[in-house]
Structure 1
Amino acid sequence: MTFTSAVSPAVSPATSLAGFDPRSGSLVERALFNHRGLVVLLCLLVTVLLGWQATRLQLGASFEKTIPTHHPYIQNYLAHQGDLSGLGNAVRIAVANPSGDIYDAAYLETLRQLSDEVFLIPGVSRLQMKSLWTPSTRWVGVTEDGLEGGPVIPDGYDGGPRSLERLRANIARSGEIGQLVALDGRSSVLFVPLQARDAQGRALDHAAFAQRLEALRERYESRGVRLHITGFAKIVGDLIDGVRAVLGFFALAVCIAAGMVYGYTRCVRSTLLVVLASLVAVVWQLGLLPALGYTLDPYSILVPFLVFAIGMSHGAQKMNGIMQDMGRGMHRLVAARFTFRRLFLAGLTALLADAVGFAVLLLIDIQVIRELAVAASLGVGALIFTNLILLPILLSYAGVSPAAARRSLRAEAAARAASGDLSENSGRFKPDAGLWAVLDRFTQRRWALGTVLVSALLGAGGWVMSTQLKIGDLDPGAPELRADSRYNRDVAFMNAAYGAGSDVLAVMVKTPDGQCSQLSTLNRIDALEWQLRQLPGVDSTQSLALLNRRVLTGLNEGNPKWYEFLPNQDMLNTVTAGAPRGLYNDGCNLLVLSVFLRDHKADTLAGVVRHVEAFAAANDTADVEFQLAAGSAGIEAATNIVVHQSWTRMLVLVYAAVVLLCLVTFRSWRAVVVAVLPLLLTSVLAEALMVALGLGVKVATLPVIALGVGIGVDYALYILSVTLTELRAGRSLSQAYHRALLFTGKVVMLTGLTLAVGVATWVFSPIKFQADMGLLLAFMFLWNMLGALVLLPALAHFLLKPAARSVPAVAPPPAAGRAPGATAAVPQ
């Protein structure tokens, strides 16, 4: 691959339109620029078509897309999904009476009406729904006549004092206090399991379902009760509401990027064209998604922001090159073609690095991350056409304003004069050279050594801190939302009122058909259950084994001495026959041990999973097998395991791809080391930042590091490509780095700040994980920019050496059809 010099001498006749040979350049260049009108027309037609397709793009989310469907735990859950009562995607609606307790006729009537309405909402698994008013909510008691029972709502209930007293007694005997009824008796819960698909086979629309719940909340709270709603469907609804608010950040990002580019160029036409080309890429991306059968979800909603920001970065480089050449007197078409020659391969390599960084995410077995990878890759693919091809062609028509071109030339000449660059033998900056002089110091031994040592210390400290990085959620509630969000306040209410959260991890126990009540099996479950209750973070458990203990105690006047198993299989069979089906299935070949957790923090889940796996390894037999996992916490535990396995593999693959692309581009292992080490430092420091901010590695944050690496390598590619070309021409590192700064340094700083500021606005998002992504990406963009400007030249001092001089001190005028200052690349 050939890179050309950044700095061009005076204009020759070959750089004027009349003297330029349109047959010069590569086949790709001739095909594009000799048919400019056709290229613009085709891009216009594609934009119109994909713009129309973009209007069909839907915003939604799916529970199944957020879980690793091929993980063994999830496979176990899916295999027994039909036998598991509400241990997957479910919603809990707590209905509180702020003026009293639940033993109030008006409250109970309101609860009945709400229960009936929720029961009829499409998507509700009606057979498994539970509330005080559903027939499946029953009580069992021991009287002098033996075992008695019935529905919690007593027969003949009329709302009178006698009925309410019977209801109070039934609830006390139902075992639902702490489950369906609050510990203080001031609220009760509607447990609403959801179906994955409706009767027509369509996936559940979580956003529409959440809207129905909000409509119910608004209507029933006007009747004097308070509703607290938790569950995945409600989280999705809140995320989508937040996403609609986030769309305003896109307009803000456009304004910020346009303002910063205009502040650099002071040219309206070129700034508008750069913004236009980047927006066209976003339109193409959004149009391709529905055409390929994809939707946009809360996790991938920020990808268009990234595509636009990346487009502005590459577009500014193209505009800068054309502006400099026009400042030297070139015709806008000639300047566009020469800039295309100089930067197309560097820009293509950078975008391929971005695409690879995104594509690696396809290896993660979580559909929502894979769709994010597809959306981002489509956007980067669109940028190859819009910002590397369409933008130079548009600028070949419009050019830049003469004032902007002259200003660019004056600024470059002043910088070169201040640095002494006009004297090839000086090789050092003058004292008044300003920023360029400061940056040049990093090419000198003392500063370079200090920079490398400081970077090594930062890397070591960051690595030590990054070892504390956790996998999964570190906070209760929904970390995707703000701590003071309505949803997290509802979670806090549930935890306080019911003594346990909605986080349930279910262990499935497989037995032969009809053998679920065997004494040996129930004894094993009882042993595991007792051990789990001793673990931190476990509030309570529920199983057929525990039910047998309670029933036996109840049959003996509640005497705790009878809190044991009887070695009598007939008795166990009798108790099992009357047990609720949530504890075992109809075929009596699957038992469920439910573990109610205080929260779903990473350490809590990991501790329970480790213990169950160790128990299963010691107690599984040919007939009895303990399997993980179902329940919301069980599914999250499986997700954490996949994220943990994918984290290191993803980083290795991203860096392997970046190293390979850099090696193909630079053809020098030394140059690869110089380009990649600053990226590694940034990745380590970003992990340390996650620890400092209390962020865990999860579905929302997993893609961030890969995105930061893929995008961050752009800076090194642009600066190092010019530096290597100058070194291969025989110039000193100081001179080579100076010329790279003159040609692309300002634009690297401009785009680095533009990217960072653009994503930093996300911190104001109502969605916390988007704010976290914005903060991490802004940090990585800034550190990658600093690494390219500071650590890169310091490493180059030790690893890159100038070649034997291959060009004279004053380059001759360029030959016709050759880019000014072009030199043949000398492999190092």
Structure 2
Amino acid sequence: MRPIENVINRLELTIFRHRVFVIILFLLMSVFLGYQATQIKLDAAFTKNIPLNHEYMQTYLKHRADFGGANNVLISVCNQEGDIFNENFFTSLKGVHDKLFFIPGVERTQVNSLFSPSTRFIEVVEDGFAGGPVVPADFVADEAGLAIVKGNIEKAGVVGRIVADNYSCAMVKAVLMENDPETGEKLDVIEIASKLENDIRQEYEKDGITVHIIGFSKMVGDVANGAKGVVTFFLIAIAITTVMVYLFSKSIALTILPIACSLIAVIWQLGLLSTMGFGLDPMSILVPFLVFAIGVSHGVQMINSIGKKVALGLKSKQAAEYAFRVLAIPGGIALLSDTVGFITLLSIDIGIIRELAIAASLGVGIIILTNLILLPVLVSFINIKAEKVKTPSKAQAAYQTNQEPALWRFMQSFSERNVAAVVLVVAAILFGLGFHYSKQLKIGELHAGAPSLHEHSRYNQDTFLITDRYAISVDYMSVIVETTANACTNPDVLKTMDSFQWKMENIAGVQSAVSLPSVMKIINSGYYEGNLKWRIISPNQYALAQALSNIPSSTGLLNNDCSVMPVILFLQDHKAETINRVVDAAKIAIAELNNDLVTFKLASGPIGVMAATNEAVEQAQTPMMIYVYGAVIILCWLSFKSIKAVVSVVVPLFIVSTLAQWLMTVLDIGLTVSTLPVIALGVGIGVDYGIYILSTMTQRLSAGDNVQQAYLAALKERGIAVLITGVTLAIGVSTWFFSDLKFQVDMGILLTFMFLVNMLAAVTILPAIAAFLWKKQK
């Protein structure tokens, strides 16, 4: 007897001799962790969504205090019945500005609108320059006051930035802090989103005034609201799974117990996360369903094994002991493969993916306890014969009479070498096509608007309105220029920045750009009656100082000592190809223009964050797959001690992973923070099918059966459970197609595909490979 089998036998004796103690222990843990689970909260933070160690993000964090972060709020107040120049509109705009200003967590020095003192105009008069706030301190919204403000708006050059091109809207902008100033704790962006909706939109959207809000916090709030629907899908999935398991087992007890044990695993997972201080991010709220699905998968295998032995005359306790003994190794190896596969996601330097990895690996590790130990122990107390249990009638009859049903005879043919050759040729062709088209898989978002939400969502409609009515885009990137103190009056520095801006403005996808030199050129021409030929960087330092005196640091175009200045690029959208094109062009320009005096650094702003995230995802893709498959290969080797077995399990998984990437290119789904983990999750879950089938096959092959006989035995022992599991999980996940969250729809499509196709690969490609690897059997 092998050492591991000896350990399993001793463990079996210990567990089943102390069944009551085992149940009491699980009950106490369930009560404690159930209470802890009730304390878990939704937890979303901007910094969790970005790779903080990426060089772009190091630049972003270094200069965030001077130029604000990428966690912005943009509120566009619009008049549906004309332009903005009426009392009702300015009263509403002032109210929105003040409400946003006093929301805890808003960086008050960076709240910007027509009512901000920093929003100023400058004009040329007979005596030189004159200027002041666009909205005077003594502003009254009557005909004369509105006329003054309209003139000031035109002089200030804020049309397209703070005021819509057609004068139908005006913008209020703000930057959010990282920590709540009142509590000192991490800023609750979901609470911010609630205040934006309830205190601003609901209060001021009336009497022809509409309020349009975008920004990371608002997007996360909308995702969190949509994520509440996940509970509904979870309940639907439980109902569907319960029906399918009952149709499989024909026993109420054998239906309730695996469902209950899988739910206990979810409760333990949530309880442990809460105990460890983790919350549940809206983007990873789908993990509990995956834990439930994996638990049901192994629970079905357990009750399948128990049901067969009970039908052959064993008592419930004997059948449960047998099921534990034969499934402990393949089930444990499969779940360890899942766990290690999920842990490999920790290699990705993005907080939200690492939290997902922790949550998923915890949940799957718990299933080893709940579905491989607790489930057979509970079943051992039930008189299953009193329930008149029936394993699937045709399959059971075949098992007892050795008469194979037509389905098993058909599937057995996949292990015959002539049919297997056809299967492998078809698989090779599909793999070749999949590999070719998977090379076209794009990194990043492929659609305009917030990719987590549908195009018709209020958030994305607000985004489209703001993009359409303003000259600037909500998708902007700040390239940071580091130089020496007081460099704002150095013509060489300013000309270098101006050259960089000119190069970037001529890149497809860049809508417009602004920097200190571009504003100083406009001011300089103002000294010469606006003559365009004087819109230049003057070589005279005194002229530059004169122009600079009209630009305060509150504009965000320079820091206090003028040693750091951004060049802000407004992009048409945040599609992956647009970001890649602009970033690549910026890198070329930076390599050309960087010198001892001026250093350009990428990048801040929302697009800077997206660019860093896309690069982090691209860099992590290949290592993650190597780690996942490396873990599966090692654990399969430890389980079967056979290269043939490893090849038989891993090759179908790799083919399906490649086909899944092909599917992503066909459906125009990019590789993002939300879709990257799905590939690892799919591999982790898909390995279960192959390990269960091959565990029976290797036993029969060792006993002297040929491949066809071994595969038929595996089908009769495990086949129906594998088929039912694959179909059940796919149906449960397919309900996500109707989610309010776009990223959940994408994940649902990919997981449905991987659940089904991994199952089909395990019952077709695996035996076909085995037919050629095990040519002769002693």
Q: If the TM-score is normalised by the length of the shorter chain, which range does it land in? A: over 0.9
Alignment partners' CA distance in 1, 2:230 and 2:72: 27
Contact 1:491–1:501 (CA<8 Å) still a contact in 2?
no
C-alpha distance 406-772 of structure 1, shift in aligned 2 (>3 A): closer
**CA distance in structure 1 between the aligned counterparts of 2:394 and 2:124, rounded to whole angstroms:** 97
The C-alpha deviation readout for 1:471-494, integer Å capped at 9, x for no partner, is 111111101001100001001101
Q: Which has the higher contact order (CA 8 A, sep 6+)?
A: 1
Equivalent residue pairs, number: 774
Match of 2:44 in 1: 61
Aligned pairs for 1:402-441 within 5 A = 404-405=388-389, 407=391, 411-414=395-398, 417=401, 419=403, 433-441=405-413
Counterpart residue number, 2:253: 269
Does residue 1:100 correspond to 2:82, yes or no?
Answer: yes
Following the alignment from structure 1 to structure 2, what is the Cα–Cα distance between the partners of residues 707 and 657? 13
Residue ranges of structure 2 left out of the alignment (5+ in a row) = none
- 2:384 match: 400
Other-structure match for 2:658: 684
Corresponding residue of 1:815: none
AA of the residue aligned to 2:644 = R
Residue 802 of structure 1 deviates from its aligned partner by: 4.9
Residue 89 of structure 1 pairs with residue 71 of structure 2:
yes
Which structure has more helix as a fraction of its residues?
Answer: 2
My pick for the range that moved more, 578-587 or 527-536, is 578-587
1:641 match:
615
Tell me what 1:552 maps to.
524
Corresponding residue number in structure 2 for 1:574: 546
Any stretches of 5+ residues in structure 1 without a counterpart?
Answer: 6-22, 421-432, 805-828
Equivalent residue letter for 2:506: Q
2:197 aligned with 1:214, yes or no?
yes
Counterpart of 2:305?
Answer: 321
1:403 shift after superposition? 6.1
Q: Which residue of 2 aligns with 1:785?
A: 759
What residue number does 1:11 align with? none
Q: Taking structure 1 as reference, are residues 766 and 310 closer, same or farther at Cα in structure 2, changes over 3 Å only? A: same
Matches of 2:312 and 2:393 in 1, distance apart?
A: 7
CA distance in 2, matches of 1:666, 1:3: 14
CA distance in 2, matches of 1:445, 1:702: 37
Matched with 1:537 is 509
Q: Distance in 1 between matches of 2:432 and 2:516?
A: 52
- Alpha-carbon deviation of 1:262? 0.2
Q: TM-score, normalised by structure 1?
A: 0.91
Which letter does structure 2 place at the counterpart of 1:452? L
CA deviation vs aligned residue, 1:800-821 (integer Å, no higher than 9, x gap):
24531xxxxxxxxxxxxxxxxx
Residue of structure 2 equivalent to 1:162: 144
Distance 1:731 1:135 in 2: 86
AA in 1 matched with 2:341: G
Map Cα deviations across residues 430-459 of structure 1 (whole Å, 9 max, x no partner). Answer: xxx411111111111221111111111111
User: Which residue in 1 is equivalent to 2:112?
Assistant: 130
> Structure 1 residues 756, 2: CA separation in 2 closer, same or farther (over 3 Å shift)?
farther
1:446 corresponds to 2:428: no
Q: CA deviation at 1:621?
A: 2.3
Instruction: Report what 2:630 is aligned to.
Output: 656
Q: 1:801 to 1:708 in 2, by over 3 A?
A: same
1:735 deviates by: 0.7
Once residues 454 and 245 of structure 2 are traced to their aligned partners in structure 1, the CA distance between those partners, rounded to angstroms, is 33
Task: Indicate conservation of the 8 Å contact 2:248/2:391, yes or no.
Answer: no
Deviations, residues 202-239 of structure 1 (Å, cap 9, x unaligned):
11111111111111211211243001111001101101
Q: Distance in 1 between matches of 2:401 and 2:320?
A: 26
Match of 2:487 in 1: 515
Counterparts in 2 of 1:4 and 1:653: CA distance versus 1, 3 Å: closer
Q: Which residue of 2 aligns with 1:196?
A: 178
TM-score (norm 2): 0.97
The secondary structure found in structure 1 opposite 2:561 is: coil
Q: Deviations over 1:266-295 (max 9, x none)?
A: 100111011111011011001001100000
Letter in 2 for 1:267: S
1:52 and 2:26 matched: no
Displacement of 1:33 in angstroms is 0.9
Q: Secondary structure at the match of 2:384?
A: coil
The alignment yields a C-alpha RMSD, in angstroms, of 1.8
Q: Is residue 251–residue 390 contact of structure 2 (8 Å, CA) maintained in 1?
A: no
For residue 342 of structure 2, the aligned residue among 333, 342, 358 is 358
Letter in 2 for 1:520: D
Question: Displacement of 1:30 after TM fit?
Answer: 1.5
Which structure has the larger Rg over C-alpha atoms? Answer: 1
Query: Deviation of residue 574 (structure 1)?
Result: 2.5
- Which residue pairs with 2:711 in the alignment? 737
Question: Superposition pairs for residues 149-298 of structure 1, below 5 Å?
Answer: 149-199=131-181, 200-215=183-198, 216-298=200-282
C-alpha contact (below 8 Å) 1:95/1:187 kept by paired residues: yes
Structure 1, residues 329-379: CA drift from partner, whole Å, max 9, x if none?
111111111111101010000001110111011111110110011111110
SS in 1 for 2:131: strand
Question: Which secondary structure state, in structure 2, belongs to the residue aligned with residue 440 of structure 1?
Answer: helix
Match of 1:29 in 2: 12
The residue aligned with 1:822 is: none
SS in 2 for 1:774: helix
CA contact (8 A) 2:310 2:385 kept: no
2:455 matches 1:483: yes
> Equivalent residues in 2 for 1:106-117 (5 A)?
106-117=88-99
The aligned counterpart of 2:698 is 724
Q: Show the 5 A alignment for 1:764-783.
A: 764-783=738-757
